[in-house]
């Protein structure tokens, strides 16, 4: 039995109410009961995505939709904006799918520079861009609005934006900014268990997909659209999670979307104040720091592994000791999902109590 609270940047804590909603009995996925459930979710999803495009529910983790986007939409060549573990991996995934793809590479923790993107797209080589909005591995949030302004200059370039760890926590107006494919997963900013990906696809992107061969079946955007029109998914979906999704969407609108954004910003500042007080630094430039998690640079020679372990064992709280090649050089604290001033305050107090033991003496 898990007896600790999650403050890792995904999966995050799921509320008892969301778990409760998932105990609703399953029904046939071609039944009118399922269609009702799907059709209850849809307008709420469209409102939250700020789009009039359909929002598909995929039974997969986010990677399914990320791989699917590349398979559905790469015609000539994809430009993958890489600046951390997830965005690096997306390039690898595109290549593994046999697509032509290049990197627009920034260092881990740095943002994607809209001007550099502009000059790469001006070559005319690319017809698809992949971008991770919030690079969870580095706690860095890309300047999405500015990036989308650049993309507006290139009507033949389709954009796919991963908002797995930022969706619903900060404003991302899909249609207004001209995002073609906006995708997210269930277990991070939405605070549901893992297993669902959500993706909204523009008309332009469907037109592209129609011309692409080898889209496969499971993530075929046109297959999703055909079923969506009937209030269904292409294959049997993870129905309990969709009950959980409906509950979560309703609770987001009960809180108020703007209030949710404000709450995330405030909790994030609360963590940032702690980081500064202790003498730590953030990995990214402050201006590009994520609002949903903090990636702390280990400038104080903290024994990160020891600290993380003691926090879990003694204080029953789990934070992350750094991702991939920056393990130990950084650690990450999540404030996404259902956290409150009190729950973050508790986390910071508990960290305070054990921190000195893991800092170098003197």
Ligand X SMILES: *Cc1c(COP(=O)(O)O)cnc(C)c1O
Per DSSP bridges, beta strands 293-297 and 281-282 are antiparallel
- Beta-carbon contacts of 356 under 8 Å, excluding residues fewer than 6 positions away, are none
Residue 142 touches ligand X, criterion: CB under 6 A: no
62 forms part of the interface with ligand X (CB under 6 A): yes
Q: How far is the CB of 343 from ligand X (least distance, A)?
A: 21
Q: Looking at beta carbons only, is 185 or 234 nearer to ligand X? A: 185
Q: Confirm or reject binding of residue 108 to ligand X (CB under 6 A).
A: no
Asked whether position 132 contacts ligand X by CB under 6 A, the answer is yes
Q: DSSP assignment of 293-339, as one string?
A: EEEEE-TT---HHHHHHHHHHHH-EE-B---GGGBTTEEEEE--SS-
The distance of closest approach from Cβ of residue 339 to ligand X in the complex, given in angstroms and rounded to an integer, is 17
63 binds ligand X per the rule CB under 6 A: yes
Q: What does residue 321 show for φ and ψ, rounded to 5 degrees?
A: -90, 25
| Cα dihedral: 308, 312, 317, 318 (round 10) | 50
Smallest distance from ligand X to CB 69, Å: 12
| Binding status of residue 139 toward ligand X by CB under 6 A | no
Sheet holding 78-82, edge to edge: 55-59, 196-201, 181-185, 158-162, 128-132, 78-82, 101-105
Q: How many residues bind ligand X (CB under 6 A)?
A: 14
CB of 84 to ligand X, least distance (A): 8
Q: Is residue 147 involved in binding ligand X (CB under 6 A)? A: no
Selected range binding ligand X among 47-55, 58-66, 108-116, 216-224, rule: CB under 6 A: 58-66
Pairing mode, strands 101-105 and 78-82? parallel
Question: How far apart are CB 193 and ligand X at their closest, in Å?
Answer: 11
Place of tokens 């609770």: 251
Residues contacting 146, CB < 8 A, separation 6+: 114
Rounded Cα gap, residues 145 and 160, in angstroms: 14
Min dist. Cβ of residue 136 to ligand X (A): 3
Cα gap 152→129, rounded to integer Å? 12
| Contact status: 10 vs ligand X (CB under 6 A) | yes
Q: Name the one range near ligand X by CB under 6 A: 114-122, 139-147, 159-167, 321-329.
A: 159-167
Residue 61 in contact with ligand X, rule: CB under 6 A: yes
Interaction pattern, residues 160-179, with ligand X; x per rule: CB under 6 A: --x-xx--------------
Comparing CB distances to ligand X, the nearer of 34 and 86 is: 86
- Convert 122-161 into a string of H (helix), E (strand) and C (coil): CCCCCCEEEEECEECCCCEECCHHHHHHHHHCCCCCEEEE
Task: Kindly tell me which residue out of 68, 109, 139, 185 binds ligand X, with binding defined by CB under 6 A.
Answer: 185
Q: Which uninterrupted H or E stretch holds 59?
A: strand 55-59
Closer CB to ligand X, residue 134 or residue 330?
Answer: 134
User: Which listed residue (188, 228, 260, 332) binds ligand X by CB under 6 A?
Assistant: 188
Residue 10's closest CA among 343, 323, 304?
323
Q: Is the peptide bond before 302 cis (omega within 30 degrees of 0)?
A: no
Q: Which of 136, 142, 248, 335: binder of ligand X (CB under 6 A)?
A: 136
Contacting residues toward ligand X, per CB under 6 A? 10, 61-63, 86, 132, 134, 136, 162, 164-165, 185, 188, 194
């Amino acid at each position: 039995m898990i007896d600790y609270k999650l403050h890792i940047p995904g999966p995050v804590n799921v509320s008892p109410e969301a778990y409760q909603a998932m105990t609703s009995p399953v029904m046939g996925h071609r039944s009118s009961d399922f269609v009702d459930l799907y059709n209850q979710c849809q307008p709420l999803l469209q409102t939250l995505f700020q789009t009039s495009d359909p929002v598909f529910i995929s039974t997969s983790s986010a990677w399914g939709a990320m791989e699917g986007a590349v398979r559905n939409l790469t015609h000539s060549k994809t430009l993958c904006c890489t600046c951390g573990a997830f965005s690096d991996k997306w390039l690898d995934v595109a290549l593994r799918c046999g697509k032509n793809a290049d990197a627009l590479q920034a260092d881990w923790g740095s943002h994607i520079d809209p001007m550099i993107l502009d000059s790469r797209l001006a070559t005319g080589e690319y017809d698809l861009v992949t971008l991770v909005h919030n690079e969870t591995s580095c706690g860095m949030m890309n300047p999405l609005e500015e990036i989308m302004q650049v993309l507006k200059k290139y009507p033949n370039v389709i954009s796919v934006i991963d908002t797995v760890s930022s969706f619903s926590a900060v404003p991302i107006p899909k249609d207004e900014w001209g995002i073609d494919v906006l995708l997210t997963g269930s277990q991070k900013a939405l605070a549901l268990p893992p297993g669902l990906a959500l993706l909204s696809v523009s008309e332009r992107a469907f037109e592209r997909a129609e011309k692409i061969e080898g889209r496969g079946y499971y993530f075929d955007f046109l297959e999703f659209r055909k079923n969506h029109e009937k209030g269904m998914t292409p294959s049997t979906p993870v129905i309990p999670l969709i009950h959980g999704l409906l509950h979560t969407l309703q609770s987001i609108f009960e809180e108020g979307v703007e209030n949710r954004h404000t709450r995330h910003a405030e909790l994030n500042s609360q963590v940032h104040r702690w980081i500064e007080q202790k003498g730590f630094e953030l990995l990214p430039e402050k201006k590009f720091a994520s609002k949903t998690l903090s990636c702390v640079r280990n400038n104080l020679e903290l024994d990160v592994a020891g600290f993380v372990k003691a926090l879990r064992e003694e204080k029953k709280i789990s934070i992350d000791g750094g991702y991939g090649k920056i393990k130990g050089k950084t650690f990450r604290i999540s404030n996404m999902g259902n956290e409150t001033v009190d729950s973050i305050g508790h986390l910071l107090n508990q960290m305070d109590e054990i921190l000195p033991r893991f800092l170098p003496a003197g």
